[in-house]
Amino acid sequence: MKTTDFYIHARMEERWIPHFLAFLKQMEINGDIGHSEALAFYSDGDGDFRPQFKFLVDDEIEAKSRAVTPKQINPDWKVKLYDAG
């Protein structure tokens, strides 16, 4: 498996930053300890969660990201699961 560095620049309302960072840090912790779980982040688009992202990533990987389709866990849930495994 090839490890690739990439960078994401994020801009969002300050009140969302601690929650977004905690979400990312939990992903990191799960990888460090070998723990699997579904994590969720509520994307309140009709509220004030309007993040802007800029990506510094290989063009080939960026193209692959457009082809990713989330998995449907339960048709009654409004949850999109992105899983490479």
Q: Averaged in consecutive runs of 10 residues, what is the pLDDT profile of the chain (85 residues)?
A: 90 96 97 94 89 94 92 84 87
pLDDT of residue 45: 84
User: Global pTM?
Assistant: 0.83
User: Which residues, listed in sequence order, are joined to residue 53 by a DSSP beta bridge?
Assistant: 10
Residue pair 43/80 in contact by the 8 Å Cβ criterion: no
pLDDT of residue 44: 85
Residue with tokens 């699997």: 36
**Beta strands per DSSP E along the chain:** 7-11, 52-56
